[in-house]
Amino acid sequence: MLIHRLAALTGLAVATLFMAAPANALTMAECSTKYNAAKDAGTLAGQTWNQFRKAQCGSDASAATDTKAATDTKAADTKTTKKAKTAAAADDTAKGLSSKECSAKYQAAKSAGTLNGMKWNDFRKAECGPGATAAAAAAPAATTKTSTAAADGGKGLTMAECSTKYQAAKTANKLNGMKWNDFRKAECGASAADDDTVPAPTEATYTSEPAKPSVAAPKGVSFPKAISPKFANETPAKGRMHTCLEQYYANKDANTLNGLKWIQKGGGFYSLCNAKLKS
């Protein structure tokens, strides 16, 4: 009887010992890995190694592999997001230019005279499809005149060049109802603040003598001293008008008008020039 009782007590003690032991406790190696992972993640909250070991590596602790797995998952998600953004950017490029970008590229080519007869739809298909780049990067030749115009203070084409272009468009019946000044602003780099009173070189018509000027010309403006020989066969009044217009263009191209318009109150270029030729 005594032997049976001792055996029972011994079995109970062994069971109690196994129950008290941290069966699921981490090994030193696992705990060290978990500690270093928490340290790298900045989640130690001031715990020392021994404090961490007692708090995090007992029977209820889980191995650092869980933390590491979560960290790896986050890194993978970030990497995937970056790849997705890169792919999205590649898709946008593959789609080609937007309508606005294509229009800007078309207008640049049109201004530079490099359309080679292409209409809008043909240009759009040929120049704005997948892999195409915007006008600034893809068509340096088309932006050369625009860049030159900017360097010249926005002057764009000279009056003579613009007049030639205007006459060519007029002959080809491509003005689409545009008048000289509208054409000059749209096709020759003239700004909205430019002189709207000046006629086209080949469309200037004499109607009457300009008013006598009451103001002096700005400094730097040059005037002809006599009627040009090319207009010698015209009436004196008409010859003066064409000579003055020719000189106006020369001043305009040389940027020496200094704000003087062809016709303006008190005396524009025409009235000042006409008075000088008459005198």
Q: Residue 62: its pLDDT value, please?
A: 53
Lowest-pLDDT choice from 6-15, 124-133, 177-186: 6-15
Distance of alpha carbon 271 from alpha carbon 260, whole angstroms: 11
- Reported as a single tens digit per residue, the pLDDT across 39-57 is 888 888 888 888 888 888 8
Please report, rounded to a whole number, the percentage of residues in the chain having pLDDT higher than 90: 17
Question: What is the overall mean pLDDT for the chain?
Answer: 73
Write the DSSP string, 48-98.
-HHHHHHHHSSTT---THHHHHHHHHHHHHHHHHHHHHHHHHHHHHHT---
CA angle, corner 16, sides to 11 and 19, nearest 5? 125
**Can you tell me which residue has the tokens 């009056």?**
159
Contacts of 120 by beta carbon, 8 Å cutoff, 6+ apart = 106
Predicted structure pTM score: 0.41
Instruction: Answer whether residue 185 shows pLDDT above 60.
Output: yes
Q: How confident is the model at residue 74 (pLDDT cuts 50, 70, 90)?
A: low
pLDDT greater at residue 132 or residue 74:
132
Instruction: Answer whether residue 268 shows pLDDT above 70.
Output: yes
- Reported as a single tens digit per residue, the pLDDT across 210-265 is 989 999 999 999 999 999 999 999 999 999 999 999 999 899 888 899 889 999 98
Q: Residue 54: its pLDDT value, please?
A: 86
Tokens standing for residue 156: 């764009």
Q: Residue 4: its pLDDT value, please?
A: 53
Tokens standing for residue 58: 């007992």
